[in-house]
Structure 1
Amino acid sequence: MSLIAEKRSGTATSKTMRAAVLVAPEKFEICEVPVPEPGPGEVLVKLAGCGVCASNIEPWEGPDWMEYPTAPGNMGHEGYGTVAAIGEGVDGLSIGQPVTALFYNSYAEYDVGPADNVVPLPRELAATDFPGEPLGCAMNIHARSDIQPGHTVAIVGSGFLGTLLCKLAASAGAQVISISRRATALDLAAKAGAAHLIEMDDHYRIIDEVNSLTDGKLCDRVIEATGKSWPLDLAGEITGERGRLIIAGYHQDGPRQINMQMWNWKGLDVINAHERDPRIYISGIRTAIDAVAEGRIDPAPLITHRFKLDELNEALRAARERPDGFLKAVVRMQDE
């Protein structure tokens, strides 16, 4: 550890840590590696856990472009824990402070990154699983959806993200239609405020049902939250004239063909609600923390599966196969 970090911490951290390394397709191994040191403007976080993101599934499966082994902890970007050490020039954080962090090697016991990507958690949230990045995504997607009271909003895909967006849309005064292939997900959407539930099974039956529910006007806002081709096609079909189609799903498995003639004729506003600016991510995370602290959203029931770090392969398998009742997994770094 650097001298400045050790002075700021008061106690030295461990010299080594356990970290997941992807060594082959679908094969993370746990390795003992040095604990990273915080440089100027950086913070070392002792991780309590890290959310498992669906965007990890494709690189874990081993596409042609993957290179092995990956960096220790690589792909984990939903970490949370406590500040372990502080680099030179960092103010406003203290050792032991509970935080959530937007770092990118957080499948490990420690991760290090810019202080600007660390967000303090209030003490009442310190003992909870708090993957800040997906919660921040939900808040940013909701903001870009521009949902107004009286809008009819369809959410295609009721996983962790879709259920949060359902709650936010219903709280904004919208009539929410939740569309999902799983009955358990639809049940959670109903608890989150969805007025109508539609099983995602048959393309044309769903369009007919949305037509019937909206007297042929279709939806003012449609949020596609699956990252799959067919649901994206469906989302365009059920968006009304001059409506807004919001793409929240992470489309990473190849090109998409869209019905541009229909999108054009309807005059749709199409929003790609993914962010790449860390400042916007962090702004969304701060908004999410306020929303959870104030009771406007509650992610706890949506974190349905918990794994140990050495069970990361099982966690990703669950995220891919989505067994009954699955919405969101986190990996906890300690064995207790």
Structure 2
Amino acid sequence: MTPTMKAAVLTGPRAFAVQEVERPEPGTGEVRVRLEGCGVCASNLTPWEGPEWMQFPTPPGDLGHEGWGRIEAVGPDVDGLAVGDRVAALSYKSYAEADVAKADMVVKLPPELDGKPFPGEPLGCAFNIFRRSDIKPGQTVAIVGIGFLGAVLCQLASDAGAKVIAISRRPESLDLARRFGAAETVPMDDHWKIIERVKEIAGEGLCERVIECVGKQWPLDLSTELVGFGGKLIVAGYHQDGPRQVNMQTWNWKGIDVINAHERDPEVQLQGVREAVEAVASGRLDPEPLYTRGYRLDDLGKALDDTRDKPGAFVKALVELA
């Protein structure tokens, strides 16, 4: 095994380089994973654009947090894991050939997933959001924004017995939502027209659950309008580009619960990944149609730009590392 590895380093706004860097050594309670791939998360896009708070250059591999691969080294005081185990890792410098993770922050992948990509972090995120949404059979659930996360949530909500209304900007996204179980689709174009269309589908009582998956002001406003009295508004979009305004009068008047579905408890994050592993391994969920294409590490810039621009039927980029 070589003492060095290749890793991506962001050198400035929308600029990066692949560098040869020292291969990290696992410390106590850690493992090193030889990465097979890493998903590209939309949360990377703001740092990629280079806001004033961003510092360059980034640490090698930084921003990559959706990695999977095989353990190639085990640090002291690690039980239950061995070299060669295939795992999904909750680690944070995975735009590289290898990354170090805490041993209690990896999930073993069963043989049923051999040879298949498995970005555990976003899949686990979807399962945790679904759990927080408390969806019941017979409810009407609107999902605002259909990308990777929204599509998975369409299937989970539909499988739970809900009637899913998918709302998204691109026709390709609405087609995808239908494939993943949405009963109805609504183009995300005109604010008031969307509300009237949802009323036609769900009735004047609107939706018991609305999941906002975009992370922008207008979808949040729209989601507020679509949730019915006593319902739940679930914020799944990652709002990282500045403050938001909320219609507190409407929230109060409707008596709704507002749920921030972003989990920071490591145990809860792992629970979602484990649930995702079981669902994909058993065949209950097939996320592979959502992996639009693979990119080499030296094509990371293209992967990030495509994640932003969503050309054609693009859904999710995977950086292939092995």
> What TM-score results when the alignment is normalised by the length of structure 2?
0.99
Q: Following superposition, which runs of at least 4 residues in structure 1 exceed 6 angstroms of deviation? A: none
Matched to 1:183, the amino acid is P
1:232 corresponds in structure 2 to: 220
1:113 to partner: Cα distance: 1.8
- 2:19 partner SS: strand
Q: Which of 61, 66, 78 lines up with 1:90 in the alignment?
A: 78
Do structure 1's residue 111 and structure 2's residue 99 form an aligned pair? yes
Q: Residue deviations 1:151-207, cap 9 Å, x none?
A: 000000110000000000000000000001111111111111111010000000000
1:116 to partner: Cα distance: 0.6
Percent of matched pairs sharing the same residue: 60
Q: Residues 1-336 of structure 1: matches in 2 within 5 Å?
A: 13-334=1-322
- 1:36 partner SS: coil
CA distance in 1, matches of 2:114, 2:319: 16
1:8 corresponds in structure 2 to: none
Q: Residue deviations 1:291-311, cap 9 Å, x none?
A: 111111111000112100000
Q: Residue deviations 1:108-159, cap 9 Å, x none?
A: 0000021011110011212111100000000000000000000000000110
- 1:166 partner SS: helix
Matched to 1:242, the amino acid is G
1:243 to partner: Cα distance: 0.4
CA distance in 2, matches of 1:112, 1:165: 30
CA distance in 1, matches of 2:203, 2:167: 18
CA distance in 2, matches of 1:14, 1:45: 14
Paired residues, number: 322
- 1:107 partner SS: coil
1:226 to partner: Cα distance: 0.6
Unpaired stretches in structure 1, ≥5 consecutive residues: 1-12
CA distance in 2, matches of 1:277, 1:150: 31
CA distance in 1, matches of 2:46, 2:285: 29
1:323 to partner: Cα distance: 1.1
- 1:325 partner SS: coil
Matched to 1:154, the amino acid is A
- 2:37 partner SS: strand
- 1:304 partner SS: strand
Matched to 1:84, the amino acid is E
Q: Residue deviations 1:29-54, cap 9 Å, x none?
A: 00000100011100000000000000
- 1:221 partner SS: strand
> What TM-score results when the alignment is normalised by the length of structure 1?
0.95
Q: Residue deviations 1:241-280, cap 9 Å, x none?
A: 0000000000001111111101110001000000111111
CA distance in 2, matches of 1:322, 1:229: 20
CA distance in 1, matches of 2:116, 2:73: 21
CA RMSD of aligned residues (A): 0.7
